[in-house]
Amino acid sequence: MRRVAGSMDYQAEPRADYFQRSKPFWMVAILAGMSYYGWAVLSPSTIPYDYLGPLGTFTKYLVENHKPVFNMGYLTAWLIHIGEALYALKLCKMKGITDPSIQFRWFVQTFFFGIASLSYLLAYNPQKKSR
């Protein structure tokens, strides 16, 4: 951080090592949701639908009556995560995050947690160094 002359404001300088971990709540929620969705797509016969209440009833209905759309939704979700992860790499370069290990962390975190990670990178707004 640098102080702007004549003001109390602070501006962020571009940091090659900027990284912020997603909030644990979103990490757990997205991991649980994608895991359950994957389980329903890849091995629907092993899900104990009766023990899951309304979620089990709804999942069973989707698996039995809308399997092609249900499966396509799962594939689409992963394709979106891949796209977000690739966009995170582009944002890293645009925002001056040049450390390869940090770029890799952004890629992996965004691949697994999607917008819960990407939102931090989108919000990061370093000021260009003025000379």
Contact between 52 and 63 under an 8 Å Cβ cutoff? The reply is no
Residue 67 DSSP SS3: helix
Residue 103 CB neighbour total at 10 angstroms? 18
Position 5 pLDDT exceeds 50? no
What is the tens place of the pLDDT at every residue in 28-42? Answer: 999 999 999 999 999
Position 106 pLDDT exceeds 60? yes
Q: How confident is the model at residue 15 (pLDDT cuts 50, 70, 90)?
A: confident
In this prediction the pTM is: 0.80
Domain ranges for the chain: 2-123
Contact between 23 and 16 under an 8 Å Cβ cutoff? The reply is no
